[in-house]
A and B are shown apart, each in its own frame.
Chain A
Amino acid sequence: MAHYKMHLLVCGGTGCRASQSDKIVENLTAEIEKLGLENDAQVVTTGCFGFCEKGPIVKVVPDNTFYTQVKLEDCAEIVKEHVLKGRKVKRLLYEDPETKKHIEDSKHMGFYQKQLRIALRNCGFIDPENIDEYIAREGYAAIAKILEEMTPQEAIDVLKKSGLRGRGGGGFPTGLKWEFASKNMADQKYVVCNADEGDPGAFMDRSILEGDPHSVIEAMAICGYCIGATKGLVYIRAEYPLAIKRLQTALKQAREYGLLGEDIMGTGFGFEIELKFGAGAFVCGEETALIHSMEGNRGEPTVKPPFPAEKGYLGKPTNVNNVETLANIPVIFNKGASWFSSIGSEKSKGTKVFALAGKINNVGLIEVPMGITLREVIFEIGGGIKNGKKFKAVQTGGPSGGCLTEKHLDTPIDFDNLLAAGSMMGSGGMIVMDEDDCMVAMAKFYLEFTVEESCGKCAPCRVGNKRLHEILEKICAGKGTEDDLEYLQNLSKVIKDTALCGLGQTSPNPVLSTLEHFYDEYLAHVRERICIAGSCKALKLYTIIADKCTGCTACTRACPVGAITGEKRQPHVIDADKCIRCGACYDKCKFSAIHVQ
């Protein structure tokens, strides 16, 4: 019998696989066999560890050694040194950016110290393609317990007591949602898992499906029992091939074990799950649009009511939950509602997964208790702003959210506080911006996204967002006026009030929140025609400092549009109207006589 002394956990998420982590698994296994250590060490492909910035990751347990940016040629050294002789390979250990010391135990990494992993409990811990490892960690114990001891209503009550709220964006209480669906009578009902993750920069749902697909399957079966449905559907975008593959493998294994299908574990309860692929449209994350897309119709939303709980997929009562919400559910039943509700803030219980992106040192996926402050997330877990720049804002909630600024850094993060601050939780994308990012351009970027993703069904969203985008473009091009700012504000409010679905109702949020927090920047764009961050190219103003100019004519020759004139050995001048802001003169000048504003 093998007595494994160590397990080598290799990240098999999309991020690390892109840098050949699947080959690392092969190499490690081959090296281990070469030294005859196959009974000592086991190589396991796991889901995402979250520390994507430094991938590919290889974690060795039980000593919690965290190797980062492992290359194929490092595998032999890891096996020879660490597995055989017990010496950690120092150069591959994570280096603390402040102390410059190698951290030997991942428990001491700032990135992990403040995290609490519930939805991600198995990501980076188990092999997602091996159902046995899920079962070993209490997998399918929740559904077993419920089928044995609880009526559907009792189970719903547990969920209500836990305080779990939907993690897809809106934050609606999950237990209440299930109760609505359970009370509507029909010959067939449906459980739908919304895996149409559309926020730019968010990838928590993908990581959960890639790293722990069984938790989602188990939760869907629990939901089926509670609301009285025997059929489940996972709506997943086709651009997540690895998540689809892992989910299919997991479904197959669950069926073979009799944990899905007819008569689950001899209890008489039956449940089956089918996959439905989406083409990757943002609006299909909205539940009515999602349902229409699954039915084979255009992915367009319809007015609620009727809610899906009354009339959903094929006209039957349907319960739609997001991936992360579902991943929380088995743990709630295993550990109890009061355990779950003891974590988090007053009205937002449990944890939330965030995808950190933008100008932050530790780009990656984190899970933290609700109520943690932005400061802790950005500066402690995220390791602060890249290249020592100054923090400016963070966009939460993706294109539907808003930006939070320095004054919000100490606000506890939960559903209600974010709303009060003019943003929203959304699915948990966090894009961090530094002093070099222009907030008008940022709002323009998000509007570009919503204009492209608008389904076109209602006029406020189809026409209104397009107009918003045009004005923002005008301002960034240095042609805006102060009237435009007022117009932006008014139009935003109209769109919010009149759009049909969540997409349109929230799409002006980036504009409104930047107007509120960064009005000065907008004013500078329209009044002085300058972009404080220096990012709007059209607003850069190139001038020549007469005292420094020697009249060497180097800039005149460099200028592609002939905007620079002047006599030899006399100070030159740039014609701002002709200037195309290419910067060629700036690069050529040897006397630092060109000033950029």
Chain B
Amino acid sequence: MKKIKSLDDLRKMKRELEHGMNIREKSNSPESLVQIRVAMATCGIAAGARTVMNALIEKIEKEKVPAVVTQGGCMGYCYAEPTIEVKIPGKDPVVFGNVDEKVAAEIVDKYIKNGELIDGIIPTNYQTINEKK
């Protein structure tokens, strides 16, 4: 174990270590963050959802985007896997289909950062049992 010899050492160390705790810190305030949910059912994983999820996590960490990536189950859009659902606080969730690493980066840069919509949105034309009157 290395010794902390100065106050700057401690601060440097904190910056390096923070990264590993990000997932936990973010879970403390999920409502203020953009929530990205990657569908990780068998069909999603087969179509490459895992690579997409890794790419998203890496990009978000690197660019310090205020977002949290979680995984969800099958949404039924097997024809368009991998799919991701993005929920910006205060807005309705949007589902993107056929997402690969490139599209994922585009979603972060355009939709999450600037609010621009991009191609590949799947219209959500269903009701959940909670919404059904």
Question: Which segment of A135-143, A288-296, A525-533 sits at the interface?
Answer: A135-143
A258 adjacent to B4 (CB under 8 Å): yes
B24 adjacent to A256 (CB under 8 Å): no
**How many whole Å from B74's CB to the nearest CB in chain A?**
8
A594 at the A/B interface (Cβ < 8 Å)? Answer: no
B14 adjacent to A86 (CB under 8 Å): no
The digit string for A115-152, where 1 denotes a CB below 8 A from any CB of B, is 00000000001100000110111111100100110000
B4 adjacent to A5 (CB under 8 Å): no
Q: Which of A62, A84, A265 has the most CB of B within 10 A?
A: A62
Q: In the bound complex, what is the Cα–Cα distance between A220 and B4 (angstroms)?
A: 19
B21 adjacent to A133 (CB under 8 Å): yes
**Complex interface residues of chain A between 57 and 80 (CB less than 8 A to chain B):** 61-64
B10 adjacent to A140 (CB under 8 Å): yes
Complex interface: chain B residues within 8 A of A265 (CB) = 4-7, 9-10
**How many whole Å from B70's CB to the nearest CB in chain A?**
4
Question: Which segment of B36-44, B89-97, B110-118, B120-128 sits at the interface?
Answer: B36-44
Complex interface: chain A residues within 8 A of B6 (CB) = 265-266
**How many whole Å from A364's CB to the nearest CB in chain B?**
19
- Contacts A3-B58, A86-B39 given; indicate if A107 touches B21 (C-beta within 8 A): no
A425 at the A/B interface (Cβ < 8 Å)? Answer: no
**How many whole Å from A546's CB to the nearest CB in chain B?**
60
Chain A residue, CB-CB nearest to B25: A137
A43 at the A/B interface (Cβ < 8 Å)? Answer: no
A297 at the A/B interface (Cβ < 8 Å)? Answer: no
Q: In the bound complex, what is the Cα–Cα distance between A253 and B26 (angstroms)?
A: 27
Taking a contact as CB atoms closer than 8 A, the residue among B20, B27, B30 that contacts A136 in the complex is B20
Chain B residue, CB-CB nearest to A59: B27
B14 adjacent to A257 (CB under 8 Å): no
B72 at the A/B interface (Cβ < 8 Å)? Answer: yes
The digit string for A389-402, where 1 denotes a CB below 8 A from any CB of B, is 00000000000000
B57 adjacent to A135 (CB under 8 Å): no
- Contacts A61-B24, A86-B73 given; indicate if A3 touches B7 (C-beta within 8 A): no
The digit string for A248-264, where 1 denotes a CB below 8 A from any CB of B, is 00000100111100000
A4 at the A/B interface (Cβ < 8 Å)? Answer: yes
Q: In the bound complex, what is the Cα–Cα distance between A132 and B7 (angstroms)?
A: 15
A257 adjacent to B41 (CB under 8 Å): no
B23 adjacent to A4 (CB under 8 Å): yes
A62 adjacent to B26 (CB under 8 Å): yes
B24 adjacent to A63 (CB under 8 Å): no
**How many whole Å from A451's CB to the nearest CB in chain B?**
46
B70 adjacent to A63 (CB under 8 Å): yes
A135 adjacent to B13 (CB under 8 Å): yes
Q: In the bound complex, what is the Cα–Cα distance between A62 and B27 (angstroms)?
A: 5
Q: In the bound complex, what is the Cα–Cα distance between A3 and B57 (angstroms)?
A: 7
A375 at the A/B interface (Cβ < 8 Å)? Answer: no
- Contacts A62-B70, A86-B72 given; indicate if A7 touches B5 (C-beta within 8 A): no
Query: Interface size bucket, B side?
Result: 35 or more
- Contacts A86-B39, A135-B17, A137-B21 given; indicate if A64 touches B7 (C-beta within 8 A): no
A136 adjacent to B21 (CB under 8 Å): yes
Taking a contact as CB atoms closer than 8 A, the residue among B14, B20, B42 that contacts A141 in the complex is B14
B99 at the A/B interface (Cβ < 8 Å)? Answer: no
The digit string for A333-359, where 1 denotes a CB below 8 A from any CB of B, is 000000000000000000000000000
Complex interface: chain B residues within 8 A of A135 (CB) = 10, 13-14, 17
Q: In the bound complex, what is the Cα–Cα distance between A137 and B10 (angstroms)?
A: 12
Q: Which of A3, A64, A140, A256 has the most CB of B within 10 A?
A: A3
Q: In the bound complex, what is the Cα–Cα distance between A37 and B20 (angstroms)?
A: 17
B57 adjacent to A125 (CB under 8 Å): no
**How many whole Å from A260's CB to the nearest CB in chain B?**
11
A61 adjacent to B41 (CB under 8 Å): no
Q: In the bound complex, what is the Cα–Cα distance between A403 and B33 (angstroms)?
A: 44
A257 adjacent to B27 (CB under 8 Å): no
B1 adjacent to A257 (CB under 8 Å): yes
B10 adjacent to A7 (CB under 8 Å): no
Q: In the bound complex, what is the Cα–Cα distance between A139 and B7 (angstroms)?
A: 12
Complex interface: chain A residues within 8 A of B26 (CB) = 61-62
Q: In the bound complex, what is the Cα–Cα distance between A546 and B14 (angstroms)?
A: 81
Q: In the bound complex, what is the Cα–Cα distance between A265 and B3 (angstroms)?
A: 8
B53 adjacent to A5 (CB under 8 Å): yes
A7 adjacent to B7 (CB under 8 Å): no
A147 adjacent to B27 (CB under 8 Å): no
- Contacts A141-B14, A258-B3, A265-B6 given; indicate if A86 touches B27 (C-beta within 8 A): no
Chain A residue, CB-CB nearest to B33: A62
A136 adjacent to B40 (CB under 8 Å): no
The digit string for A1-15, where 1 denotes a CB below 8 A from any CB of B, is 001111101000000
B63 at the A/B interface (Cβ < 8 Å)? Answer: no
- Contacts A7-B23, A86-B41, A141-B10 given; indicate if A266 touches B73 (C-beta within 8 A): no
Complex interface: chain B residues within 8 A of A133 (CB) = 17, 20-21
Q: In the bound complex, what is the Cα–Cα distance between A170 and B63 (angstroms)?
A: 49
A267 at the A/B interface (Cβ < 8 Å)? Answer: yes
A105 adjacent to B21 (CB under 8 Å): no
Chain A residue, CB-CB nearest to B27: A61
**How many whole Å from A330's CB to the nearest CB in chain B?**
13
B30 adjacent to A105 (CB under 8 Å): yes
Q: In the bound complex, what is the Cα–Cα distance between A135 and B41 (angstroms)?
A: 36
**How many whole Å from A257's CB to the nearest CB in chain B?**
5
**How many whole Å from A342's CB to the nearest CB in chain B?**
19
Chain B residue, CB-CB nearest to A267: B7
**Complex interface residues of chain B between 80 and 103 (CB less than 8 A to chain A):** none
Taking a contact as CB atoms closer than 8 A, the residue among A6, A105, A138, A258 that contacts B5 in the complex is A258
**Could you jot down 25 A-B contacts, CB within 8 Å?**
A4-B23, A5-B53, A9-B24, A61-B23, A61-B26, A61-B27, A62-B24, A62-B26, A62-B68, A64-B27, A64-B30, A85-B40, A86-B39, A86-B71, A132-B17, A133-B21, A136-B14, A141-B10, A144-B7, A144-B10, A258-B3, A258-B4, A265-B5, A265-B7, A266-B6
A-side residues, CB < 8 A to B, are 3-7, 9, 61-64, 84-87, 105, 107, 125-126, 132-133, 135-141, 144, 147-148, 253, 256-259, 265-267
Beyond contacts A62-B23, A63-B70, A87-B41: 18 other A-B pairs, Cβ-Cβ < 8 A, are A4-B23, A62-B68, A62-B69, A84-B40, A85-B42, A85-B45, A86-B40, A132-B13, A136-B18, A141-B11, A141-B14, A144-B7, A144-B10, A144-B11, A147-B7, A258-B5, A259-B4, A265-B7
What are the 7 A-B residue pairs with the smallest beta carbon separation, nearest first?
Answer: A86-B71, A61-B27, A136-B17, A86-B40, A258-B3, A87-B73, A62-B27
B-side residues, CB < 8 A to A, are 1-7, 9-11, 13-14, 17-18, 20-21, 23-27, 30-31, 38-42, 45, 53-54, 57-58, 68-73
